Structure 1
């Protein structure tokens, strides 16, 4: 099975949309990013950025050291700290302000 990654991130009105998109391009590459404008509870703009990376072998090379030394197979989810990614750092996060990555068919280790 080929490795496929689905990437998604929310960008709030208080954040710089261009900076977030540029940080995604720097980390994930020049993918076809889809930007949807949504509306928050108080009418504020929220943007949903999504992308599909059909061959994520290089992505796994970058993520695996941060995720775990153990093998991971099948479908798994990674949450990267969005603010740190904008600063060029890769860090896992359990907060809500993240870049979500769903990986199918990839594996770390072994």
Structure 2
């Protein structure tokens, strides 16, 4: 797979970037170098190599969930810029009606 100008334009749009022609060329070159390095991994013989599941031998350390040091709601909402008595109110940041895909 090679990174082409069309893919760079798509990534630029998705990331909400405005790149110059020089920046596009530089990023395209860098991404192609990364893909070339990853392709080199396909040259390795991994026939007898077991997949790595855990880095160390330790298991999970579980603890019981318990409520402690709980802040009263009134105190938590005291300095909120906007609240409704129960919850913090925040501005909407995601518009689910937009279709950028």
What TM-score comes out, normalization by structure 1 length? Answer: 0.20
> In proportion to residue count, which structure has more helix?
2
Rg bigger for which structure? 2
- Which structure's relative contact order is higher, taking Cα pairs within 8 Å and 6+ residues apart? 1
